[in-house]
Amino acid sequence: SLYRTESDAVYGAAHWAFAFLVERYGVASVSHLLQAMRRGQGFDDAFAASVGLPRRTFQAEFLRYLEWDGWQDRRHPAPQALLEARPGPAVPAP
């Protein structure tokens, strides 16, 4: 339901989770994940094999990172800020 009502927040959170994934585990892990899925492996199995930990563990790690205010790019709001944002005027892209 959040996707239907707050798609900008969903896409924003996905963007920052992906940026965290690449920064923490590298482009090669993401490439391996996509290749495994292309070969027919399910996402959760491919993620665990490529990144080295289950998807749910990664999600918990990412949320913990946000809770500890680990977000360094202060030019853009962190995903938690996007999810907590109230509907209002669109923020112009930098």
Torsion, Cα 23 44 85 69, to 10 degrees, reads -40
93 HSE (CA, 13 A, CB side): 2
- The pLDDT value recorded for residue 91 is 46
* pLDDT, tens only, 32-52: 999 999 999 999 999 999 999
Angle, in degrees to the nearest 10, between helices 7-25 and 55-67: 100
Q: Averaged in consecutive runs of 10 residues, what is the pLDDT profile of the chain (94 residues)?
A: 78 88 92 96 96 93 79 56 52 46
Distance (Å, whole) CA 80 – CA 29: 25
Show the tokens assigned to 5: 């009502």
